[in-house]
Amino acid sequence: MNKVICSAVQMASSPHVEANLIEAGRWVAKAAEQGASLVVLPENFAIMGMSEFDKLSVAEEEGSGPIQEFLARTAEANQVWIVGGTLPIKASAGRVKAAALVFDAHGVTVARYDKIHLFDVDVPGSSEQYRESNTIEAGDAPLVLDTPFGRLGVAICYDLRFPELFRRMAMGGMDILAVPAAFTAKTGAAHWELLVRARAVENLCYVVASNQGGFHVNGRETFGHSMVVDPWGKRMACQPSGAGEVSAEIDLDQLVKVRTAFPALQHIRLHCQ
């Protein structure tokens, strides 16, 4: 399959898992109607709690639970691959993994990526404070997997600020990068599009970046601007604000042409171990 439509879903998730799943299902179905074969959900799509500890009460064992059942059912019903944003998967006592599960069009879980870089930050110029490490246990392994539409890499939100991760993924043959995220309004306005487009350009890959976007019940505001970007850094589609989905056609033949005409990946001299 040399051409494929990829979609990024944007939400403003609430503390209510069931309501969030209903909304996510609606947008996946809409993307499928647009011809999408790959749909990326945002980080924390299933729950944005009033407290960072709320996710612990809905954490699931890998392979079972209502959130994973929803993702499997929705992928199969719509005949799409889904990158399941992130959901809390049980880890050590009192902590979870922020896991992005990849489901194929038969509803089978084919891969899992656990967020490596945790957002422990006091946002400059605001009163916002985040300590993901209070509830999340970091992952330690990048993910690039084979799909019917090329080699797919998965990263999550704060990971975007660490280019060495993506260089390793590029060396693993990544063609398309899926990035579920929940960038804050302030950091998103400063850096979201810059980082998404930079990761596309430096790794000569397509990027499907799905962000939370809007005002949340817990008082948080997220930046939105979910987008699909091509290997030359061109923004192909964007959802500036509010819930929705954006789709764009990815052309792997064009990707080969770009990489052949501009062989930057072949010129790398400092290799990540």
Active site residues: 43, 115, 157
Are 190 and 201 in contact, with CB atoms under 8 Å apart? no
Tokens of 58: 């809905």
Contact status, residue 224 vs residue 10, Cβ threshold 8 Å: yes
Distance, in Å, from the CA atom of 47 to the CA atom of 157, rounded to the nearest integer, reads 16
Q: How far apart are CA 61 and CA 40, in angstroms?
A: 22
Q: How far apart are CA 211 and CA 225, in angstroms?
A: 7
Place of tokens 């990489």: 259
Other C-beta atoms lying within 10 Å of the C-beta of residue 66 = 13
How far, in Å, CA of 199 to CA of 218, rounded? Answer: 31
